[in-house]
Amino acid sequence: MSQTTFGVALLGFGVVGGGVYNLLSQRGRIEAKHGFAFEVRKVLVRNLNSPKAMNLPPGVATTSIEEILSDQDIDVVVEVLAGLDPAREYIT
């Protein structure tokens, strides 16, 4: 079976976004069970200087939705923002 890795962007990094990030970061478990992997390549945050954002690997945190939408290495975008806006705007 060939190895496939899907690039993921998370829109939001609160409680839910952090949990999704942790699950997707368990590459070995996903690869072993399903034969493919997810790699979180970008995370949309409100503040690049927040403690959570600063714990992400260099270059992963961003405050720019345009940076995520223009990144050709992102295959899947997961919306985990609190509230209706700006989530609705980003998804539409």
Q: What pLDDT was estimated at residue 51?
A: 94
Q: What's the mean pLDDT in 22-26?
A: 89
Q: What is d(CA 67, CA 84) in angstroms, rounded to the nearest whole number?
A: 21
CB 55 within 8 A of CB 73: no
The mean pLDDT value for 5-33 works out to 91
Amino acid identity for residue 14 in this structure: G
Distance CA 62, CA 59 (A): 8
Confidence at residue 1, expressed as pLDDT on a 0 to 100 scale: 37
DSSP string, 4-53: EEEEEEEE--SHHHHHHHHHHT-HHHHHHHHSEEEEEEEEE-S-TTSHHH
Q: What percent of the chain has pLDDT over 90?
A: 71
Distance CA 31, CA 47 (A): 32
Q: Is the pLDDT of residue 7 over 70?
A: yes
Q: pLDDT by residue (tens digit) across 43-70? A: 999 999 999 999 999 999 999 999 999 9
